[in-house]
Amino acid sequence: MSVHTTQVRVSVPALTACKGKQKIAALTAYIAPIARMLDEHLDMILVGDSTAMVGYAMPDTLSITVDMMAAHAAAVVRATQHACIVVDMPFGSYQESPQQAFANASRMLAASGAQAVKLEGGQVMAETTRFLVERGVPVLAHVGLMPQYVNTMGGYKAQGMTDAAAQRVLEDAVAHAQAGAWGVVLEGVAEGLGRRITESISIPTIGIGASPACDGQVLVTEDILGLTNGKIPKFAKPYADVGALISQAAAQYASEVRDGSFPTLDQCFGVKR
Annotated binding site for 3-methyl-2-oxobutanoate: 49-50, 88, 118
Task: Write down the catalytic residue from 40, 134, 171, 187.
Answer: 187
- What length does the chain have? 273
Q: How far apart are CA 67 and CA 107, in angstroms?
A: 9
Q: How far apart are CA 23 and CA 215, in angstroms?
A: 5
Cβ-contact 90, 66 below 8 angstroms? yes
180: left (phi over 0), alpha (psi -120 to 50) or beta: left
Identify whether 212 is preceded by a cis peptide bond (ω within 30 of 0). Answer: no
Q: How far apart are CA 204 and CA 33, in angstroms?
A: 28
Tell me, yes or no, if 187 is annotated catalytic: yes
Binding-site residues, in ranges, read 49-50, 88, 118, 120
Q: How far apart are CA 23 and CA 37, in angstroms?
A: 20
Q: How far apart are CA 118 and CA 225, in angstroms?
A: 24
Cβ-contact 50, 34 below 8 angstroms? no
Binding-site residues for Mg(2+), in ranges, read 49, 88, 120
Positions marked catalytic: 187
